[in-house]
Amino acid sequence: MWMLVAILLGVLIASLVTGGVFRWHPEWAWMRPKRACVMCEVPRRGLDVVPILGDARSLWRCRACRAVLPWQYPAIELVIVGLTVFHVWRYQSGVWIPDEATELLFAWLARDILFTVALLLVFVYDLKYTLILPVYAIPSAIIAFALNLALGVPLSSLALGMAMLFLFFLLQHALSGGRLLGAGDVTMGLVLGAMLGFVDGIVAVMLAYILGAIVGVVLVATKWCGLHDRVPFGTFLAVAGFILLVWGDILTKIL
């Protein structure tokens, strides 16, 4: 039963995210507020707008012009559903849940799902557009701060994490003239600090640099990119943030 509820919840979240949130990029301004084919601009209607199911019903083609629908939407929807089911499984089975989550488990579950969706948005946007939108980052930081504070996470940890990570990224941005880190990466300091607190936030940043270095070496070695090409750092911050969100207690104890 809980698996069915988790899947339905994931589908609902996926619908909200792919149905509206991604259209804030200027490239898709023409589509607001409808969900339409990117080729003929005819709006999708009825069950066709249901994540995954709608694409399958139309055989992944627009009913009006028969153009193949972009694969990114169902891929992102599947990831959202999968991660939602994963979080529900964690809390239902008591595996990898925060040490502080001794009560109000539903609230902690909602927090983790919300944080995961926010990090996924950062990952997708930065990977596709090398851009982290302040319209997502700043509200995400504010909401994360408020949620964690309401759940009993120490104010000192949240405030120190946000301040230290923001200043750390801001210093790198200023000293490099924006070549090492973009302005969006600076706002991620606020997001990670508000989501993870001081200790986990620091570990997440360290992990992001390690992941970035490994992937960068692999990309250069395989000639996917050159030494001077930029790799979107926000993607690694998002992945590291998710890892610490789920396994932060384990990693900080090891370190």
Percent of the chain at pLDDT exceeding 70: 90
CA proximity to 73, closest of 84, 64, 85, 61: 61
Tell me the chain's radius of gyration from C-alpha atoms. Answer: 19
Q: What was the pLDDT predicted at 26?
A: 66
The Cα–Cα gap between 191 and 210 comes to 19
Predicted confidence (pLDDT) per residue in 118-177, tens digit: 999 889 888 888 888 888 899 999 999 999 999 999 999 999 999 999 999 999 989 888
Could you give the dihedral angle defined by the CA atoms of residues 107, 250, 206 and 193, in that order, rounded to the nearest 10 degrees? 20
Q: What was the pLDDT predicted at 14?
A: 80
Distance set, CA 18 to CA 26, 82, 150 (Å): 15, 15, 29
Q: Are 243 and 198 in contact (CB under 8 A)?
A: no
CA proximity to 112, closest of 97, 124, 122: 97
Q: How would you class 185 by CB atoms within 10 Å of its CB: exposed for 0-12, middle for 13-18, buried for 19 or more? A: buried
Q: What was the pLDDT predicted at 147?
A: 96
CA proximity to 84, closest of 118, 109, 101: 109
Q: Which two structure tokens, joined as six digits, stand for 131?
A: 């851009």
Q: Are 198 and 161 in contact (CB under 8 A)?
A: yes
Residues of the chain with pLDDT under 50: 30, 32-33
Query: How many angstroms from the chain centroid is the CA of residue 252?
Result: 22
The Cα–Cα gap between 212 and 44 comes to 38
Q: Are 6 and 85 in contact (CB under 8 A)?
A: yes
Q: What was the pLDDT predicted at 66?
A: 79
Amino acid at 218: V
| Those residues with Cβ within 8 angstroms of residue 240's Cβ, 6 or more apart along the chain or in another chain | 204, 205, 207, 208, 211
Q: How would you class 226 by CB atoms within 10 Å of its CB: exposed for 0-12, middle for 13-18, buried for 19 or more? A: exposed
Helix-, strand-, coil-residue percentages of the chain, each rounded to 5: 75, 0, 25
